[in-house]
Amino acid sequence: MFLSVLCFLYNAQAQDKMPAYVLYNAQGKKVSFKKLIKAMEGSDIVLFGEQHNNPIAHWLQLESIKALHPKRNLVLGAEMIEADNQAALDAYLNGNVDNKGLDTLARLWGNYKTDYAPLVDFCKNNNLAFIATNVPRTYARMVHKGGFEALENLDATALQWLVPLPFPFDPNLPTYKSILEMMGDHGSIELVKAQALKDATMAHFILKNREDSSLFVHFNGAYHSDNYEGILWYLKNAWSDLQYLTVSTVTQENVFKLEKEHLRKADFIICVDKDMTTTY
C-alpha cells in the first residue's frame, strides 16, 4: 500500500509542468501578482516593459489593468502606436470608426490584433484614455541617417509629434553604450540618437497626458526602460519627484531562480519559460 502511494505521488509530480512564469522583485525574491498590483497602485507612472512577442507579458498587462481599474483612475499609453496616429485612435475609442477603420487610418503593428487590441478595447469599453506616445517612425529614421541635425528643418506640424527640441542626450548611459556594443560594425551614434529620440518622445507624451489624480500605465519594449534608463531617465530628468515603477520581461530555461544578469533590471521582473510559444 505504501509503495502504491509513493508511485502515485511520483507519477503525479512527473506529469506536472513547471509554471509558465515566476514574478520577482529587483533583488530576485519571488513575489505575488497581488504585490505587483499593490506597488503599481501606489505609483504615479508605471513603465511596463515587455518582449513584444511574449504572450505572458501581454496577458499580465491586461490582467494588471483589470485589477487596477477599480482602485485607481487610469490613463494608458503605448510605444506601439505613434503620436501622429492619436486622432485615429481617439476616433476608435469614441466609436466613430470600427476596427477596420482604425487599421486603415493608423499604422498598427502586425501583432496589434492579438497583443494590443485587448488593451485598447478595455479602454474603449471603460471610457479610458489611451495615448499614442511613440515618435513617428519617419523622424526616427531621419535621425538614424543624419543625427539630430536632420530634425532642424521640420515644420510646426511635424514638430508637434516630437519631444520639444533640443532635448538632453547622454551617449554614455550604459543602455545606449550596450546598443553600440551589441550592434558591432552595424552600430553608430546615430542609431543611439534615434533610440534616444524615441525614449524622450515617449516620456514627453506620458508627462503631457498624465493627470494628478490618475495612474499612467505605459507599455513599451523592456529595453526602453530596463536598468532604470531609457524612458525613465527622461521622465526623471523632467519630473523627478513623481513615483515611478518599472516592470521588465525576461525568459529563462529555469524560471525558479532569477539569473544574475536580470537582477535589478526593474522593480519587478516577469521571468517566463524560454519554451513559451510566441505570438509571432
pLDDT (tens digit per residue) in 111-126: 999 999 999 999 999 9
Interatomic CA distance for residues 43 and 47, integer angstroms: 10
Reduced to 3 states, what is the DSSP secondary structure of residue 20? coil
Interatomic CA distance for residues 90 and 130, integer angstroms: 8
Residue 91 binned pLDDT confidence (cut-offs 50, 70, 90): very high
Q: Among 40, 35, 15, which residue's Cα sits nearest to residue 25?
A: 35
Q: How far is CA 119 from CA 75, 124, 210, in A?
A: 11, 9, 18
> What's the rounded mean pLDDT across residues 20-33?
98
Preceding omega of 70 cis (within 30 degrees of 0): no
> What's the rounded mean pLDDT across residues 39-61?
98
Interatomic CA distance for residues 106 and 96, integer angstroms: 14
According to the model, what pLDDT value does residue 151 have?
Answer: 98
According to the model, what pLDDT value does residue 187 have?
Answer: 73
Lowest mean pLDDT among 11-25, 64-78, 81-95: 11-25
Instruction: Give the list of residues 6+ apart from residue 238 with CB closer than 8 angstroms, or none.
Output: 203, 204, 207
> What's the rounded mean pLDDT across residues 98-107?
98
According to the model, what pLDDT value does residue 16 have?
Answer: 64
Does the structure show a pLDDT above 90 at 21?
A: yes
Interatomic CA distance for residues 97 and 89, integer angstroms: 9
According to the model, what pLDDT value does residue 125 have?
Answer: 98
> What's the rounded mean pLDDT across residues 200-218?
97
User: What pTM value is reported for the model?
Assistant: 0.93
Instruction: Read off the pLDDT of residues 130-165 as tens digits, 9 standing for 90 and up.
Output: 999 999 999 999 999 999 999 999 999 999 999 999
Residue 25 binned pLDDT confidence (cut-offs 50, 70, 90): very high
Helix (H), strand (E), coil (C) string for 199-217: HHHHHHHHHHHCCCCEEEE
Which strand ranges, in their side-by-side order, compose the sheet holding 268-273?
21-25, 268-273, 244-252, 45-50, 214-221, 73-82, 129-134
According to the model, what pLDDT value does residue 87 have?
Answer: 98
According to the model, what pLDDT value does residue 181 have?
Answer: 87
Residue 184 binned pLDDT confidence (cut-offs 50, 70, 90): confident
Q: How far is CA 46 from CA 90, 140, 216, 243, 256, in A?
A: 22, 24, 6, 9, 25
Does the structure show a pLDDT above 70 at 11?
A: no
Does the structure show a pLDDT above 70 at 12?
A: no
Reduced to 3 states, what is the DSSP secondary structure of residue 147? coil
According to the model, what pLDDT value does residue 18 have?
Answer: 76
Interatomic CA distance for residues 136 and 62, integer angstroms: 25
According to the model, what pLDDT value does residue 10 have?
Answer: 43
Does the structure show a pLDDT above 90 at 183?
A: no
| 8 A C-beta contact, residue 253 and residue 274 | yes
* Mean pLDDT value across the chain: 94
CATH architecture of 18-273: 3-Layer(aba) Sandwich (3.40)
According to the model, what pLDDT value does residue 35 have?
Answer: 98
Residue 185 binned pLDDT confidence (cut-offs 50, 70, 90): low
